[in-house]
Amino acid sequence: MTRAIVYRFLQAIPIFLVVSVLVFLIAHAGDGDPVTNALASTLPQESIDAIRKEYGLDQPVLVQYALWLEHLMAGDWGTSLVLRTPVFEVLARSFGNTLLLAAAAVAVCLAGGVAVGVLSGLKRGSWIDGAAMLVIQVGHNFPVFWSGLLLIWVFGVRLQWFPVSGMYDMRGDQDWLDLLHHLVLPAIAAAVISMLILAQLVRAQVIDIMGSDYLRTFRAQGLPRSLLLRRHLGRNLLSPVINVTGLQVGYLLSGVIFVENVFNWPGIGTQLYNAAAGKDYPMIQAGVMLVTGCFIAVNLATDVALDLLNPRLRNGGGPA
């Protein structure tokens, strides 16, 4: 079992490296180099050359990559070409905001997805199930940004229940209650599609489990439904739910980036998008690596959790 976990850690490393290479290459894919491209129109050639030397861009690519990676690991993420401030400062703050929103989205996704899925699966064939399936079918195809806009329109503009922009009220207390208030709509918008996907899966699993042979065994012993649901349905749902939620993390992160745009949430998505527009390579590279690293970490955690839950790995053996 520990061996399996260690293997997982080991496997994560090459992935990280591969992504770093890709990111680096993409940044240097265009003609010329990042600095020249970004600043060619604004500065005289000598200044550009000086800056290039400063950034080490006159060295061969492999050396540049090695240097960059080394700095990245050490925490020195370079200086933004556009903002002239250390990338680390800028990203750390916005990434924190993104994580907050992402965590809220995961919570909504889990709660909503499991609730809808279980209800719909247990009441299969009834109107509840039919309605849920319809909502899932249609909502699945709603673009995230559209869901966000709808929510803004209905709950923000018309009903005025929730704020529609930013993290805090500029003039208010800026306490956690205010934060929560601002968090609701964006979290729901980001979570909707993943929630529906999870609900669909949970429903299928519930139907599977309720029709399974082992449930029949315990039913045949005269055990009441509530016990069956609590024990057997509950535990057997755990793995698939974690599995799918883990897989949805990427999708959720994508959704969060869209939502940041729609709701003006000061997260890393907006940051990266601006950086892309301004061709701010150090920012983009560091930003993408940050998100990737975080994402790989979440994947790892999910895999490890699944391994821990897997009875086939627990006692470490096959049939006697």
Partner 1 sequence: MNLLSIRNLEVEFDGAGGPQRVIHGIGLDLGAGEVLAVVGESGSGKSVTAAAILGLLPERDSRARGSVRFEGRELLGLPEAALNGVRGTGIGIIFQNSLSSLDPSFRIGEQMTEGLRFRRRLDAASARAEAARWLDRVGIRDVQRVLRAYPHELSGGMRQRVMIAMAVMGRPKLLIADEPTTALDPTIQKQILDLLRDINREEGTALLVITHDFGVVSYLSDRVAVMRAGVVVEQGATRDVLAAPAHPYTAALVRAVPDSAEIRRAQRQLAAAPVSAATPASPVAPADARDDADAVLVLEQVSRSFRLGGGFWGKGTEVAAVRPTDLRIRRGEILGLIGESGSGKSTLARLAARLVDPSGGTIRAHGVDVTRLRGPALKAFRRRVQFVFQDSGASLNPRRQIGAQLADALTRLDVAASARAARDLAVQALERVGLAAAHLERYPHEFSGGQRQRIGIARALAAQPEFVILDEPTSALDVSIQAQVLDLLRELRAELNLTFLFIGHDLAVIESLCDRVAVMERGTIVETFDAGALHEHTRHPVTRRLLEAVLPLRRSAGEDRRSAAA
Partner 2 sequence: MNHAVTTTVAADDNDNDNDGQHAFRSAARGRWHRLRANRLALLGLVVIVLALAVSAAAPWLAPHDPNVAEPQLRLAPPGAPGYWLGLDAQGRDIFSRLLWGGRRALLASIPPVVAAVLLSLALGLLAGYHRGRWPALIMRVIDILFAFPMVLLAIGLATALGPGIWAVALTIVFSATPYLTRVVYAGVRAERDKEYVEAARACGATTADVLLREILPNVATAAVVYGTTLAGGMIVFQAGLSFLGLGTQPPDADWGRMVAEGAQVLVLGAAHVATAPALVIVALALAFNWLGNGLRDVLDPRG
Is there binding between residue 236 and partner 1 (CB under 8 A)?
Answer: yes
Adjacent-strand bridge partners of 86: 79
Contact partner, 286, from partner 1, partner 2, none, Cβ < 5-8 Å per class: none
d(CA 63, CA 28): 13
Contact partner, 273, from partner 2, partner 1, none, Cβ < 5-8 Å per class: partner 2
Supply the DSSP symbol for 169. Answer: -
Looking at the Cβ atoms of 29 and 320, the one nearer to partner 2 is: 29
d(CA 196, CA 4): 32
Give me the phi and psi of 36, to 5 degrees please.
Answer: -60, -45
Residue span 286-305 as binding mask against partner 1, x where in contact by CB under 8 A, dash where not: --------------------
Q: What is the 3-state secondary structure (H, E, C) of 67-112?
A: HHHHHHHHCCCCECCCCCCEHHHHHHHHHHHHHHHHHHHHHHHHHH
Among the residue ranges 23-31, 87-95, 176-184, 305-313, the one whose residues contact partner 2 (CB under 8 A):
23-31
Closest CA to 143 of 265, 261, 258, 250: 258
Contact partner, 312, from partner 1, partner 2, none, Cβ < 5-8 Å per class: partner 1
Q: Are 165 and 82 in contact (CB under 8 A)?
A: no
Supply the DSSP symbol for 320. Answer: -
Among the residue ranges 70-78, 124-132, 134-142, 232-240, the one whose residues contact partner 2 (CB under 8 A):
134-142
Provide, rounded to whole angstroms, the least separation between the CB of residue 226 and partner 2. 35
The secondary structure of 10-24 as a DSSP string is HHHHHHHHHHHHHHH
The residues binding partner 2 (CB under 8 A) are 11, 15, 18, 23, 26-27, 29-30, 137-138, 140-146, 149, 152-153, 157, 246-251, 253-254, 257-258, 261-262, 269, 272-273, 276-277, 279, 281, 284, 288, 291-292, 295-296, 299
The residues binding partner 1 (CB under 8 A) are 7, 10, 124-125, 211-214, 216-225, 227, 231-232, 235-236, 239, 309, 311-312, 314-315, 317-320
